[in-house]
A and B are shown apart, each in its own frame.
Chain A
Amino acid sequence: MFTENIYTVTSPYREDMIIKGYSFGKGDEAACILGSERGNEVQQMYICSQLVKALKELEANGCVSAGKKILVIPVINSLGMNVGEKFFGVENQDINRRFPGRKTGDSADRLAEGIFSKIRNYTYGIQLTSFYMAGEFVPHVRMMETGFQNTSLANLFGLPYAMVRKPTPIDTKTLNYNWQNEMTAAFSLYTNRTDTIDEKSARQAVAAVLRFLTRMGIIRYESHSGYISHVILEQDLTDVHTMSGGIFKGLVSLGEDVRYGHRMAEIIDPYEGYVKETILAPTDGIVFFAHTDPLVTEGDIVYQLIHRLHE
């Protein structure tokens, strides 16, 4: 294992923020795995740290294929992480909205460019990431529909679902989108947590990445073969909205199979404690996303359902 400094951000008041990369094997830039970009992505950093640990052991046992290089970058915004801030610096910038970056741009542009210049040529790019809505997902692999996406490869992670998302204008500055534009086969891997650690889904993510690397011939690793992923389009999910604001009490869990009319959640009046609204399943389906915040605003999406699949 080699450690390299990918990019350094200086500060007159704090220690330098050194973005570290850990590389395994030598040769073709085969796979890059990137962890936490935002200061709250603790689970994503944890998964990457466990990957570094696993790959170090595999490399010591001669299980990294000859002529293949793997790079793991566990954390980018450590400045934010140490002070509980999601975004980067005083200007509060979301690094995952700054790719491909610019050498002559502002601090975040330069940071994004500094990272991207080191990772743009990898054949496979895997990003552990989080979503803007507060909640949990069934672990899945997500790809942008750029025309270059390859859902067959996404299947090789062996996670239950692979999702394809139509990019919106704001997505054009994400790492995933820009990786795909550079012909890297890019995947975003979602587990069910962000700012706390869930050991079970972290282990699942580590296993999924190692399984993928094995199937692409980059490492040799004996693993369970996982699932044959079901490919879903984001626009085909059914959104379940709340009609009122208040305290959110979820009654179903991620991955649960619900039927039309099933009680999914209650919205409780925050002053008097009565149930203001009972949210019922609008269709048969599997819970793919669940709101987790104890409070909810009228009109918010509290669940997303995958239409029930035929057995």
Chain B
Amino acid sequence: MIREIIATQLPVGEKLRIVKNRIEGKDPDSRRIAIVSGIHGDEFEGQYVIYEMARRLQEHPEYLHGSVDLYPALNPLGMDMAVRELPGLHMDMNRMFPGNENGTALEKVAAAIVGDIAGADLCLDIHASNIFVREIPQVRISEEFAERVLPYAQLMNVDMVWTNAAETVHEATLAHSLNLLGVPSFVVEMGVGTRISRHFGNQVTDGIFHLMKHIGMWSGELKSEIQQPVLSTDGEVEFIRSGSTGVFLPEIEHNHFVKKGDKLGEVIDPLRGEVLEEILAQKSGLVFTLREYPFVREGALLLRILTGIDHDE
């Protein structure tokens, strides 16, 4: 059932509508999970996951216990323009939560979203990195809520769960705001902006059904066994940034293991035909983040390597 969360009159003709699809099973009021996406208008991975959730749930509603709320586009104007921020305002919507019922039009929208999800048993916020770097399927949780959220995150069939040190600015994210309200919430990251990987999407969708089974919301068959994610903290993640400004050419594949000393890529100067910098691995590990966008300034993120994990040759 499609429901409208809030409709706000834009200046000319159109309304900004935030909608969700509520799929109800047995005892619809007993439990509720919210799956949201599209806070950043340049991230589309969540479109496939939400489609696949709706498709599978509608195919076998008899196995669903409770309700699933699917929110494909929390920033519909951004998605329509494929821009990350709120168009016009140029603000990151995921820095506006929990919103303000008495604030600006978009602060009211943010408050309406939080108000609608409040009371759910769980919330998953699906992201797709950005247009600059590609990510493996992973869950990100903040240290502050790790104890409560980690047991759920481990069931998500992702490759990795990354517990981040909390930064003050993250207090304005949807996941943080919902966690403060007592709704266990976490962020799923995968793929790259403006693209969809069906493979990653199916992996995460399978994970959501495993999670629902675990909390008693799904009694149907599961597609596969879930994989155990690598659990990591900031200390195990090696950031590799560009030391120069130019064009980055990777020499390795995403989601592959590298050894200390391996050449990972180079930054080149097209005008002079020169290599400005060779990028070498300082530690062995899994390349879980790889730059997709070729132009880099000094400091741009090129790769992230997950260290301290075993890899069989």
Task: Give the segment of B66-74, B140-148, B296-304 that binds chain A.
Answer: B296-304
Contact for B299 among A110, A132, A270, A296, CB less than 8 A: A110
Are the C-beta atoms of A239 and B9 separated by less than 8 Å? Answer: no
Interface hits, A67-115 → B, CB 8 Å: 86-87, 89-92, 97, 104-110
Contact for B168 among A172, A245, A271, CB less than 8 A: A172
Give A98 Cβ to nearest chain B Cβ, in Å: 10
Judge whether B95 is part of the interface by a CB distance below 8 angstroms.
yes
* Residues A295 and B11 in contact in the complex (CB < 8 Å), given A107-B298, A132-B89: yes
Contact for A298 among B9, B172, B246, CB less than 8 A: B9
For the complex, what is the distance from the CA of A169 to the CA of B172, rounded to whole Å?
6
Are the C-beta atoms of B132 and A91 separated by less than 8 Å? Answer: yes
Q: In the assembled complex, which residues on chain A have CB atoms less than 8 Å from the CB atom of B91?
A: 132
Judge whether B22 is part of the interface by a CB distance below 8 angstroms.
no
Contact for B295 among A90, A97, A245, A296, CB less than 8 A: A90
Q: How many A-B residue pairs have CB under 8 A?
A: 97
* Residues A270 and B12 in contact in the complex (CB < 8 Å), given A169-B168, A299-B105: yes
Judge whether A125 is part of the interface by a CB distance below 8 angstroms.
no
Are the C-beta atoms of B105 and A297 separated by less than 8 Å? Answer: yes
Are the C-beta atoms of B10 and A10 separated by less than 8 Å? Answer: no
Residue total for B at the interface (Cβ-Cβ under 8 A): 40
Interface hits, B159-205 → A, CB 8 Å: 168-172
Judge whether A168 is part of the interface by a CB distance below 8 angstroms.
yes
Judge whether B8 is part of the interface by a CB distance below 8 angstroms.
yes
Interface hits, B191-231 → A, CB 8 Å: none
Interface hits, A254-273 → B, CB 8 Å: 270-271
Give A182 Cβ to nearest chain B Cβ, in Å: 16
- Please name the residue on chain B nearest to A300 by beta carbon: B105
Q: In the assembled complex, which residues on chain A have CB atoms less than 8 Å from the CB atom of B295?
A: 90
Judge whether B293 is part of the interface by a CB distance below 8 angstroms.
yes
- Please name the residue on chain B nearest to A270 by beta carbon: B12
- Please name the residue on chain A nearest to B108 by beta carbon: A299
Contact for B169 among A11, A12, A172, CB less than 8 A: A172
Range for the number of chain A residues in contact with chain B: 35 or more
Judge whether B263 is part of the interface by a CB distance below 8 angstroms.
no
Are the C-beta atoms of A299 and B172 separated by less than 8 Å? Answer: no
Interface-centre pick from A90, A104, A173, A271 (highest chain B CB count, 10 A): A90
Give B289 Cβ to nearest chain A Cβ, in Å: 13
Q: In the assembled complex, which residues on chain A have CB atoms less than 8 Å from the CB atom of B1?
A: none
Q: In the assembled complex, which residues on chain A have CB atoms less than 8 Å from the CB atom of B299?
A: 105-110
Contact for A12 among B10, B90, B245, CB less than 8 A: B245
Q: In the assembled complex, which residues on chain B have CB atoms less than 8 Å from the CB atom of A169?
A: 95, 168-172
Judge whether A301 is part of the interface by a CB distance below 8 angstroms.
yes
For the complex, what is the distance from the CA of A110 to the CA of B296, rounded to whole Å?
14
Are the C-beta atoms of A245 and B9 separated by less than 8 Å? Answer: yes
Q: In the assembled complex, which residues on chain B have CB atoms less than 8 Å from the CB atom of A298?
A: 8-10, 105
Contact for B298 among A10, A245, A247, CB less than 8 A: A10
Judge whether B103 is part of the interface by a CB distance below 8 angstroms.
yes
Judge whether A9 is part of the interface by a CB distance below 8 angstroms.
yes
- Please name the residue on chain A nearest to B176 by beta carbon: A169
Q: In the assembled complex, which residues on chain A have CB atoms less than 8 Å from the CB atom of B8?
A: 245, 297-299
Footprint of B on A, CB under 8 Å? 9-12, 86-87, 89-92, 97, 104-110, 132-133, 168-170, 172-173, 239, 244-247, 270-271, 295-301
Q: Can you offer 10 A-B residue contacts whose CB atoms are under 8 A?
A: A9-B245, A90-B297, A91-B300, A169-B170, A173-B169, A245-B11, A270-B12, A298-B9, A299-B104, A300-B104
Footprint of A on B, CB under 8 Å? 8-13, 16, 84-85, 89-91, 95, 102-106, 108, 132, 168-172, 239, 241, 245-247, 269-271, 293, 295, 297-301
Given A89-B297, A91-B300, A295-B11, 10 more pairs with CB closer than 8 A = A10-B245, A106-B301, A107-B299, A169-B169, A170-B169, A239-B103, A297-B9, A297-B10, A298-B105, A300-B105
